[in-house]
Amino acid sequence: MSKSHQEPSSEDMASDATDFSALPGGARAALEAVLMVLDVPASATDLAAGLNLTVETVEQLLLELQREYDGYTVKAPDMETASDAGFTSSPRGFELRNVAGGWRIYSRAEFADIVGAFVLEGQTARLTQAALETLAVIAYRQPVSRARVSAIRGVNVDSVVRTLTQRGLIEDSGTDPESGAILYRTTSYFLERMGIGSVAELPQISPHLPGLDGIDEFYDAGRM
Amino acid sequence: MSKSHQEPSSEDMASDATDFSALPGGARAALEAVLMVLDVPASATDLAAGLNLTVETVEQLLLELQREYDGYTVKAPDMETASDAGFTSSPRGFELRNVAGGWRIYSRAEFADIVGAFVLEGQTARLTQAALETLAVIAYRQPVSRARVSAIRGVNVDSVVRTLTQRGLIEDSGTDPESGAILYRTTSYFLERMGIGSVAELPQISPHLPGLDGIDEFYDAGRM
Amino acid sequence: MAESATPLAERARPAGTDDGGAAPEAGAAPEAGAAPDAGAAGAKKPGFEVRLANFTGPFDLLLGLIAKHQLDITEVALATVTDEFVKYIRNLQSLGEEWALDEASEFLVIAATLLDLKAARLLPAGEVEDEDDIALLEARDLLFARLLQYKAFKQVAALMDATLELESRRYPRQVALEEHFAAMLPELVWKHTPQQFAALAEAALTPKAPKPTEVGVAHLHGSPVSVREQAELIGLRLREGGPLSFRALIADAESTLVVVARFLALLELFRDQVVAFDQVAPLGDLAVRWTASAEWSSDQLSEEYEDQP
């Protein structure tokens, strides 16, 4: 889940750099921390902006990490900045890939069979009732945030929303300008499965049900 | 994504084990690859079943990885299986933690500010005092009805309970056979957010509550 | 369980120092840690200031008032506290704060609580004479116990807050399933027509009636409990197990009704002079002793409770 930063030039930022030496593992570990939780590939430019480093530094660190994950000994005489990168010489179970201009950590391709079996174990072809209801709420109230869907359904819907996204039935449609929350909408695959041409063709439901405005009154009473 | 597998005994599985020596990085890397795709904590048992390894082996590998990510030198004389684990002595940007009954990769807390800038939806907002107190009562008295929580806090807790449910921290756990009241308990998401394995790891309340072991009986007797 | 799972209490403490005091101080003195509202008000600050958004309940306020005066609850200058409470309410009114019914009733509970406390305080210690006095004494103990319990929960809530805050600095890896795995998922079975889907949406969007707050009606339909049977049971236990505390005698009671029945049975047994009571300290545990011969039977009980649940 990367976000593009409004960037002053990377030189400006570097002058104002975070003191990575105070952090365990330094800038390399900081970059690794970001990569580990990034959902979508991030460009070296975005990473540099977020880390307050120059693009060149980040690119060098990315290549170092990539080689280290692949098992190369990174402490080579020509790479003085890699002094603390260790002597790892066996590949890790994950790899850092540069896909279409963005970097992301993936499970290593050689383990695809094992990982695939683990992921697919127990997966069913059917949506649960919770998933169906959540999909219905999103379809009729889109674009809508997870928090709002949770409020309507009365339970946390995070994992169900992940499943629906994974299934290609809903997708990220930007963020709410006010709250910054991700808004979800149904996909064309959803329309295809429903056998309709657009969401406008969904059958009407009672107009008296709370709309997005009314829901506030119903559900947001409990201030947190 | 984890689930319980129908297991033949772990001995059977080991005899039928995947030949990890043919894969780069061996079983350790295979485990690492699986950890990369988890979206909820996975137990050592589930991981062992998915990898066709014994639970003991997986537990040992998990501990090795955990220590390695934390920067310990894992090639100690007493750990012969760790021969290829490298000599890393600076912490990685991420850590492997055992929470809510399972293992999962997290970015290291020291990098929270940097990582937070990349994660679109920050961690959920801080709980209010009212929500925290209600959550505490439920955590220590679970399963517990709203009426009991109200009695302890001295106020109506309906809306707070609703919000805590929406945020996935507590859930309905059936009804009291006597009063028919809905009982609430904390969720595994709560454990994960608290960074603990089970509610038994919550700090002891008794030092905070001198000599009031029998208060529940008092309570039911004199309800205000 | 794991190396990563350090006991909370140990971890919560460093949090205060790491974060430069941003997190509530887990190890702080009970008063300060327990009542941030009161702490914020400070000892010197004039007037009792509570922001409505932070207000969480009558026990909170009561604790705040007590903490502010740095007094043990048993020595609270009630007149001062009460005056201050009234002043607080007037102040709110003068500020034009709108009162929701919920909040207004919460304040009524405070008023009642203060009144209870005051009434209990009026009772001179050690001069318990009639049943009303005892009831007042019990009310005071109960109130005191409740306040202590509430305070304990407030303290662990602060600990939990610190832990949650600390833990929120770790972000879990939670990435979308890699595409080649997503492609391997079994093809979705979809059987809903648009009309069925709309019905589903309609049901999901209909605001749910708030879950009912329980009304204790169970006792109305409870199976009858016989005092005679309970007397029989008590007799059996006392003859076999020697002196037992009342607490032990009701430990397995499945409902309040059974507790009441056993209590009445004990009174009956006492009247028939087959049991005796020993109490070491005032309000301490009551030990019940069997004093009659082994041949006693519940048939000898008075007929008063015959056939009455």
Per the listing, tokens 């589930």 go with: B46
How many A-B residue pairs are in contact by the CB < 8 A criterion?
190
Instruction: Name which of A105, B122, B189 is nearest C170 in CA terms.
Output: B122
Could you give the CA distance from residue A210 to residue A213 in angstroms, rounded to a whole number? 7
| C192: contact with A, CB 8 A cutoff | yes
Residue C222 has a pLDDT of 44
CB contact under 8 A, B193 and C164: yes
Residue B89 has a pLDDT of 64
The two structure tokens encoding residue C51: 């922001």
| C174: contact with B, CB 8 A cutoff | yes
Could you give the CA distance from residue A68 to residue A57 in angstroms, rounded to a whole number? 16
The 3-state DSSP class for residue B139 equals helix
Q: DSSP assignment, residue A42?
A: B
Per the CB < 8 A criterion, the answer to whether A145 and A176 are in contact is: yes
**Positions of chain C with pLDDT under 50:** 1-55, 70-73, 76, 100-102, 126-128, 214-222, 303-309
| A25: contact with B, CB 8 A cutoff | yes
| C23: contact with B, CB 8 A cutoff | no
The 3-state DSSP class for residue C159 equals helix
Q: Please report which confidence band the pLDDT of residue A42 belongs to, taking 50, 70 and 90 as the band edges.
A: very high
User: Does position A155 have pLDDT exceeding 80, yes or no?
Assistant: yes
- Would you mind telling me the total number of residues written for chain C in this entry? 309
CB contact under 8 A, A141 and C205: yes
Contacts of B117 (CB under 8 A, 6+ apart): A3, A5, A50
Per-residue pLDDT of chain B (224 residues; tens, 9 = 90+): 444 444 444 444 444 456 777 777 889 999 999 999 998 999 999 999 999 999 999 999 999 999 989 886 545 444 444 444 444 467 899 999 999 999 999 999 999 989 988 886 655 678 888 899 999 999 999 999 999 898 888 788 998 999 999 999 999 999 998 888 999 999 999 999 999 999 999 988 765 554 444 445 444 444 33
Proportion of chain C in helix, strand, coil states, percent, rounded to 5:
55, 5, 40
CB contact under 8 A, B114 and A32: no
Per the CB < 8 A criterion, the answer to whether B183 and B175 are in contact is: yes
CB contact under 8 A, A3 and B120: yes
Could you give the CA distance from residue B189 to residue B197 in angstroms, rounded to a whole number? 11
Residue A107 has a pLDDT of 94
Instruction: Name which of B141, B166, B120 is nearest B216 in CA terms.
Output: B141
Could you give the CA distance from residue A92 to residue B65 in angstroms, rounded to a whole number? 11
Per the CB < 8 A criterion, the answer to whether B51 and B34 are in contact is: yes
Instruction: Name which of C186, B142, B106, C89 is nearest A163 in CA terms.
Output: C186
Residue C275, strand partner residues: C290
CB contact under 8 A, B202 and C58: no
Pairing of strands B182-186, A144-145: unpaired
Residue A138 has a pLDDT of 96
Nearest CA-CA distance, residue B214 and chain A, Å: 32
Q: Which residues of chain B does A107 touch, with a Cβ-Cβ cutoff of 8 Å?
A: 33-34, 36-37
List the strands of the sheet with C244-245, edge to edge.
Answer: C244-245, C286-290, C275-279
CB < 8 Å from B in window 146-175 of A: 147, 150-151, 154-156, 158-159, 162, 175
Nearest CA-CA distance, residue A60 and chain B, Å: 17
Residue A53 has a pLDDT of 93
Ramachandran region, residue C5 (left: φ > 0; alpha: ψ -120 to 50; beta: rest): beta
Ramachandran region, residue A86 (left: φ > 0; alpha: ψ -120 to 50; beta: rest): left
Could you say which of C102, C170, C213 has the minimum Cβ distance to residue B107? C170
Residue C16 has a pLDDT of 32
Could you give the CA distance from residue B196 to residue C2 in angstroms, rounded to a whole number? 9
Contacts of C42 (CB under 8 A, 6+ apart): none
Model pTM greater than 0.90?
no
Pairing of strands B102-107, A94-99: unpaired
| A77: contact with B, CB 8 A cutoff | no
A102-152 residue pLDDT tens: 999 999 999 999 999 998 887 888 899 999 999 999 999 999 999 899 989
DSSP strands (E only) in C218-283:
244-245, 275-279
**Which residue on chain C is closest to A158 by alpha carbon?**
C174
Residue C244, strand partner residues: C288
User: Does position A84 have pLDDT exceeding 50, yes or no?
Assistant: no
The two structure tokens encoding residue B135: 């959550």
Q: Which residues of chain C does B129 touch, with a Cβ-Cβ cutoff of 8 Å?
A: 36, 54, 56, 60, 157
Q: What is the ipTM of this complex?
A: 0.81
How many Å from the N-terminal Cα to the C-terminal Cα in chain C?
A: 50
| B182: contact with A, CB 8 A cutoff | no
Could you give the CA distance from residue B22 to residue B31 in angstroms, rounded to a whole number? 15
C-beta contacts of C165-168 below 8 A and 24+ residues apart: C165/B126, C165/C15, C165/C19, C165/C22, C165/C23, C166/B109, C166/B195, C166/C11, C166/C12, C166/C15, C166/C18, C166/C19, C166/C23, C167/B193, C167/B194, C167/B195, C168/B112, C168/B123, C168/B124, C168/B193
Per the CB < 8 A criterion, the answer to whether B107 and B115 are in contact is: yes
- Contacting chains of C (3 CB pairs or more, <8 Å) are A, B
| C84: contact with B, CB 8 A cutoff | no
Residue B104 has a pLDDT of 96
Query: Which of the listed ranges A77-91, A207-221, B180-194 does the model predict with the highest average pLDDT?
Result: B180-194
The two structure tokens encoding residue C34: 């327990």
| B114: contact with A, CB 8 A cutoff | yes
Could you say which of B112, B137, B212 has the minimum Cβ distance to residue C169? B112
Interface test with C, best of B72, B153, B160, B179 (most C CBs within 10 A): B153
CB contact under 8 A, A136 and C174: no
Q: Please report which confidence band the pLDDT of residue A195 belongs to, taking 50, 70 and 90 as the band edges.
A: very high
Q: Which residues of chain B does C56 touch, with a Cβ-Cβ cutoff of 8 Å?
A: 128-130, 133, 153, 155
Residue B36 has a pLDDT of 95
Q: DSSP assignment, residue C185?
A: S
Measured in whole angstroms, the distance separating CA C21 from the mean position of its chain's CA atoms is 30
CB contact under 8 A, B90 and A94: no
Q: Which residues of chain A does C185 touch, with a Cβ-Cβ cutoff of 8 Å?
A: 120, 123, 166-167
Per the CB < 8 A criterion, the answer to whether A143 and A183 are in contact is: yes
Interface test with B, best of C150, C171, C184, C263 (most B CBs within 10 A): C171
Could you give the CA distance from residue C180 to residue C36 in angstroms, rounded to a whole number? 52
Nearest CA-CA distance, residue B25 and chain C, Å: 21
Contacts of A169 (CB under 8 A, 6+ apart): A135, A186, A187, A189, A190, A193, C188
Give the DSSP letter string of B99-137.
ETTEEEEEE-GGGHHHHHHHSSSPSPPPPPHHHHHHHHH
